[in-house]
Amino acid sequence: MIPAKMDAITIATVQEKGIDSVVDWFERHKQPFYALGWFYLRNQQQMEELFYRSIIKVHRELPRYKKDTSFQLWVASIFIDICRELSDDEVTLTSEEDASHQDLFSALDQLEDAEKEAMVLTYGTGFSQEEASHILRVSVDKMKELLFSGTQSVRKQLYGATFNGCKEYQKNYIDYLEKRMERPEKIEFEIHLYKCRECQEDLAAFQDVTLMLHHAEWMNDLTVPEHLIANIKERFSEKEQQRQQKFKKLKKVALVFASVFAIVIGIGFFTGAFANVYYTWTEEDEQLRTFLQQNLGQRVNLEAESDGVKIRIKGVVADDYQTLVFYEIEDTNEDKQYVMNFDDGLIIENENELMKHNTYPRYHPPDLKAEMNKKEKNLFYGKVGLRPLEEDSGVIEMNIERIQELVLDGHEAMLGFGYRSNGFKTGEWKFEIPVTKQPSVEYELNEQAEIEGIPVRLDKLIMAPTATVLEYGIPMGDQDKRIDQIRFGNLKVNGVKVKPDQFGGYQHLQPEHNWQILQMYYDPFYGEEPKDVTVQFDSAYFSYKDQKSIELDANAQYPQTFEYAGSTISIDKVEIGQPTTVVISNHEVENREFETLHINVVGENEHEPISMGMSTEGVIVDKNGVEYDMNSGSFDYEKIEQPRHFVTVQNLMLDGDEIIPKRLDIYGYNSMKYLDDVVEISLD
């Protein structure tokens, strides 16, 4: 049986002897762990693999061991987890050591996995119910249920007899036999036993099995093969020899590298090659590495820990358009990945003094596909966008109060863009981050394009460290047809494609002489000075004026239809109440001119405005005409090519006491048009 108290390995011992210290510990305590593993694996090769993996994991996880848990409990938890990983569905008795207790082993093998684990840990290895429940991660009450049902099953396998004890008292058997009952309950139970012969026989047979299970011989008779630990030591020795050989090769490479290192440095400081090579080797964060290689950011190494979660600020890149902070979050207790979100648990204490007020931080979703975020289940690299600096430099006072858990697969991942709903971790992580703003370069374009007869100005191209920015203008004013928004395709700079920002890529500036001025954000462009630029328009969203009025009569029969913009629209319902409801619909979207209507309902008093609420139903249609139900949630919106949103039903709710509608006024509509227009600009 596992001793009540085992010696623990200290960090100092590991530092002195390395993994050999863990091997020595398992060699001293091999008997109980071998017996424990035997109930999962009946194959000597697998048993050796079990010990080998357990030693590696205990050695690797030792820095995370917390002394508030006993060392043997911690090791047993790791050991059982690996037992489960290696165990097969079919188990056969093949060893001579099993012969003397074969009936007992066979009976235990018939149990459910959870029952068997509870029985072996409590009766075979000597852990208490509380300790065994900790190892198996179940409650003590659940542990008692498993022990009772497991003992009953073993008894039936061994004796085959049927016992008819009173069910309401059977729950007390384990506590009574282990002398864990409170005195009043114990007296009541013994009075019942005195009167009930069935319970006497049932408890006596139950006790026989528990005594048999408590007897240590059935565990100790499982002799550990002499070569078990020796084979494991040999495997570690071979692994160390391979490591030494690899190290020798690396030393030879290092000598060659050292001979040319001075040349690399000399060339590097003049050409930028040194920064490129250096950060390729030393920076794990793929996104931050690119900025550092271009000498466009600052590397910082700041760390704060709260409740077992470490947040490290890795670097910062700032320009006139945003401030990017790169971070790493490590959960040292669990295999969970977290991300931080601006204005959701992340506060910049000195934001009003340090940063510009007339902008809003750009959104940067977590990069779930990056290789660096697939390597460790408890580690995540991310970045968060903050407002740009007002001055050229400063110190960001960042206070993080909560972070959000990520989920990388399953239905929840699809619906939440990687965020686990309500999966928050609270804590206190504070940083003071020094930052210096990097300069941007502006190029005047002074070009004008045309989209369906409407002029579009292309004013500036701005090359900033964190983004490539196209500044453009569209006409404002009272027009029968106007552009509300333009969707841009890739930008080409010197023949290189630069992708548009899909999240918050537009920024509105101060209007100028009946022109609306906007900025479109693209990915950063690294390289030589831009000479040839190609701007592509993918689509534009238009507003049209087209007025029409339809009389309403609450006493009329509905539905009724009317024609508008080449389509037949139905008035499905006009119902007086609190609120009064008007429902209109058009489910035919193929070749439909409009996507949404600009509408209003007028009451009996035309000069008195009506407060109106609205709910809609609709479909999404991609560029190829494929339809998607907006309410289904069974599709990935980000993968739909240039979606159009067609409203099919509009529910108009008129607030007030039985408002009587008299007229439906339509002012116009919105429609998106697909484009394939390209404007080429030369900056020479």
CATH code for position 44: 1.10.1740.10
For the chain, the C-alpha Rg in angstroms (whole number) is 36
Residue 58, domain member (yes or no): yes
Tokens of 43: 């194959």
Same domain for 550 and 524: no
User: Is the separation of the CB atoms in 59 and 77 below 8 Å?
Assistant: no
Residue 683, domain member (yes or no): no
Same domain for 412 and 430: yes
User: Which of 92, 108, 130 marks a domain boundary?
Assistant: 92
CA distances from 157 to 110, 112, 152, 208 (A): 8, 14, 9, 13
Same domain for 640 and 560: yes
Same domain for 420 and 333: yes
Residue 278, domain member (yes or no): no
Same domain for 618 and 575: yes
Residue 678, domain member (yes or no): no
User: Is the separation of the CB atoms in 384 and 390 below 8 Å?
Assistant: no
CATH code for position 309: 2.60.40.1630
Residue 23, domain member (yes or no): yes
Q: What share of the chain is helix, strand, coil (3-state, %, to 5)?
A: 35, 35, 30
- Note the pLDDT tens digit of each residue in 42-62: 777 888 889 998 898 888 777
Q: What is the pLDDT of residue 243?
A: 67
Q: State the 10-residue block means of pLDDT for the chain, 684 residues long.
A: 56 62 86 82 82 87 72 84 72 44 70 79 76 82 84 77 76 78 79 79 77 61 78 81 64 51 46 54 80 87 93 94 94 92 86 85 84 90 93 93 80 53 86 93 92 94 93 88 91 92 70 87 88 93 94 92 95 91 93 92 81 85 85 67 90 84 93 91 82
Same domain for 123 and 81: no
| Residue with token string 């198996």 | 136
Residue 482, domain member (yes or no): yes
Q: What is the pLDDT of residue 95?
A: 43
Coil, helix or strand for 623? Answer: coil
For residue 125, the enclosing domain spans: 96-222
User: Which of 511, 543, 575 marks a domain boundary?
Assistant: 543
User: Which of 543, 567, 601 marks a domain boundary?
Assistant: 543
Residue 381, domain member (yes or no): yes
On the 0-12 / 13-18 / 19+ scale of CB atoms within 10 A, 569 is buried
Same domain for 405 and 515: no
CA angle 53, 57, 60 (to 5 degrees): 140
Residue 491's nearest CA partner among 474, 469, 473 is 469
Same domain for 342 and 420: yes
Q: What is the pLDDT of residue 339?
A: 93
**Cα 626 to Cα 288: distance, rounded to the nearest angstrom:** 39
CA distances from 55 to 26, 61, 67, 325, 453 (A): 8, 10, 19, 39, 74
Residue 74, domain member (yes or no): yes
CA distances from 25 to 8, 72, 77, 154, 240 (A): 8, 11, 16, 34, 19
Q: What is the DSSP string of 625-680?
A: --EEETTT--S-GGGSSS-EEEEEEEEEEE-SSS--EEEEEEEEEEEEEEEEEEEE
Tokens of 339: 């991300």
Number of domains observed in the structure of the chain = 6
Same domain for 426 and 337: yes
Q: What are phi and psi of 474, to 5 degrees?
A: -130, 145
Same domain for 663 and 549: yes
Q: What contacts 653, CB < 8 A, 6 or more positions away?
A: 579, 580, 581, 612, 613, 614, 615
Same domain for 343 and 367: yes
User: Is the separation of the CB atoms in 9 and 22 below 8 Å?
Assistant: yes
**Cα 155 to Cα 170: distance, rounded to the nearest angstrom:** 14
Same domain for 491 and 366: no
Alpha carbon 604 to its chain's center:
54
